[in-house]
Amino acid sequence: MKNIVIMISGRGSNMKVILDNIKDGILKGVCNVKSVFSNNLEAKGLEIAKVYNVSTKAISSKGKKRSKYNKLLLLFEL
């Protein structure tokens, strides 16, 4: 089984579909969500992930240059 990390920035509607399919659909037994990561500390999808008992992590990208943010992501254990 593959472990995956889902990246979101808002409501997490696509993430929810993935989580539902892991629970009861075509992804059942295929993969497991290790964590959900967001660049938005207030993303609504982080709460949805918690309902599914998936760990969440976030680093705000607001006001950061892409190159600096990418370096932060490399240091962050997902």
Domains identified in the chain and CATH numbers: 2-75 (3.40.50.170)
CA dihedral 11, 78, 55, 32 (to 10 degrees): 90
Asked if 58 and 39 count as a contact pair (C-beta separation under 8 A), the reply is yes
Residue in 48, 43, 41, 39 with CA at minimum distance from that of residue 19 = 48
Residue in 76, 3, 75, 6 with CA at minimum distance from that of residue 38 = 6
Confidence of residue 45 (pLDDT cuts 50, 70, 90): very high
Q: 4-36: per-residue pLDDT in tens?
A: 999 999 999 999 999 999 999 999 999 999 999
pTM for the model stands at: 0.85
CA dihedral 57, 1, 27, 8 (to 10 degrees): 20
